[in-house]
Amino acid sequence: FGALVDDTGREKPLTQSSFSSFLVKRDPGLRKCAFEQFYAEFQDHQYTLASSLAYSVKADVFRARARNYSSSLEAALFPDDLPAAVYEGLIKAVRVNLAPLFRYFELRRRVLGLKELHHYDTYVPMVAEIETHISFDQAVEHVVTALQPLGKEYVDVLERGLRGRWCDRYETKGKRSGAFSSGSYGAPPYILMNYKEDVFADVYTLAHEAGHSMHTWFSQKSQKYQDYDYPIFLAEVASTLNEELLTHHLLEQTRDPQMRAYIINRQVDDIRGTLFRQTMFAEFEKVIHEVEEAGDALTLDVFKSEYHKLLTGYFAENLLLDPQLDLECLRIPHFYGAFYVYKYATGISAAVALSEKVLRGDAGAVDAYLEFLKSGGSKFPLETLKAAGVDMTTPKPIESTLQLFERRLGELEELLLPAC
């Protein structure tokens, strides 16, 4: 993808990995240049990429038909015993609640002082990074305190683990980037991350991975080997719930407008990226598989046309759609493992619904949540969530998350618009 001179005056390579780092730069000209240069390469290879994606979809449809499924969507949902109505209900619930998203983009345009908002303007933070210095031990204290509503057993086990040897926390030579939680049956969970004391977001990363680890810990303690491993549909619930509780705790602890704006902006952006954007991706996957199942050709023009329709429906009221953006559908790796991304959207919705029950102090909410963690993979995911108090066959959990987005957006408008 070549190279670009960044805002420090140094030439830096533009790659798949570094593209996002250019989009958060304050200079709109640099963001635009990175966007155009990046997508120029996809333009040069668009026919090859479209052919590759088309054959991936064809393979999905072939496998579904070979096993007598009514559709490739039904085949993908079968292992988790999920009805297509859950997938379709997610899309419908989000589609009829896009007004707050349009408000969000208008807020972003005004805060950034732009005449018009492009897609490459949607990643630069509306609130500047908080200058902070939080040691790992202090981060553990924040996380443990935030998770007090989950009860003594949960926080005691987690604190011992984090202050013990559960977390490989500091960067060393040859260590990979990113963060994840892993483990094996009969052994303690293991968190790998590169904690930085001056990066406030790393406190959230710790809380997130701790959620996965505690899910694994409770499941191991309660289930036999064959039933302890939980499905992806449930995996992000425990980690995201921890982030929701951390956000609630931090907002309770501070009245500083800048800090509150930073925390709320983070939560709003998470919901935007996880619920709205992933649902749009999920709808695109459904559409292109239906095209193939109907016997129509999946060409470059079809991919671009169908993706453009979705971009228009989800974003166009407040976002100027550059023609290059139609090519985005050719660069999403998840599309080669179809019908996966919707789990991010359902996961955050279930997590928000459960966290609200816990924070309200609903009778039995904490015990029900701990039973959810202990269930592991012993039951199908809808059954596990229903026992915890969340019914994903209804739009209610998704609507609760959309309502949270709208409430937080209102708070963010109050904090940021007076300064515009």
What residues form DSSP beta bridges with 118? 320
Q: Say if residue 79 is in the same domain as residue 18.
A: no
Q: Say if residues 214 and 158 touch (Cβ distance below 8 Å).
A: yes
Q: How many domains are contained in the chain?
A: 2
- CB-count burial class (<10 Å; 0-12, 13-18, 19+) for 316: middle
147: domain CATH number?
1.10.1370.20
Q: Say if residue 307 is in the same domain as residue 394.
A: yes
Q: Say if residue 33 is in the same domain as residue 174.
A: no
Q: Say if residue 37 is in the same domain as residue 55.
A: no
Amino acid (1-letter code) at residue 265: N
13: domain CATH number?
1.10.287.830
Q: Say if residue 278 is in the same domain as residue 418.
A: yes
Closest among 167, 165, 252, 161 to 202, alpha carbons compared: 167
Q: Say if residue 97 is in the same domain as residue 229.
A: yes
Q: Say if residue 51 is in the same domain as residue 32.
A: no
Gap between the Cα atoms of 301 and 305, Å rounded: 6
Q: Say if residue 28 is in the same domain as residue 81.
A: no
Gap between the Cα atoms of 125 and 107, Å rounded: 12
Q: Which of 209, 243, 292, 356 is catalytic?
A: 209
383 is catalytic: no
Gap between the Cα atoms of 254 and 290, Å rounded: 49
pLDDT in tens, the chain (420 residues): 889 988 888 899 999 888 999 999 999 999 999 999 999 999 999 999 999 999 999 999 999 999 999 999 999 999 999 999 999 999 999 999 999 999 999 999 999 999 999 999 999 999 988 889 999 999 999 999 999 999 999 999 999 999 999 999 999 999 988 899 998 999 999 999 999 999 999 999 999 999 999 999 999 999 999 999 999 999 999 999 999 999 999 999 999 999 999 999 999 999 999 999 999 999 999 999 999 999 999 999 999 999 999 999 999 778 999 999 999 999 999 999 999 999 999 999 999 999 999 999 999 999 999 999 999 999 999 999 999 999 999 999 999 999 999 999 999 999 999 876
What residues form DSSP beta bridges with 12? 4
Q: Say if residue 152 is in the same domain as residue 252.
A: yes
Residue 174, Ramachandran bin (φ over 0: left; ψ between -120 and 50: alpha; else beta): left
Q: Say if residue 108 is in the same domain as residue 82.
A: yes
- Domain containing residue 72: 45-420
3-state DSSP call for residue 118?
strand
Which pLDDT value is given to residue 420? 65
Half-sphere exposure of 18 (CA within 13 A, CB side): 14
Half-sphere exposure of 249 (CA within 13 A, CB side): 22
Q: Say if residue 394 is in the same domain as residue 247.
A: yes
Which pLDDT value is given to residue 256? 94
Gap between the Cα atoms of 400 and 412, Å rounded: 18
Q: Say if residue 121 is in the same domain as residue 64.
A: yes
pTM: 0.95
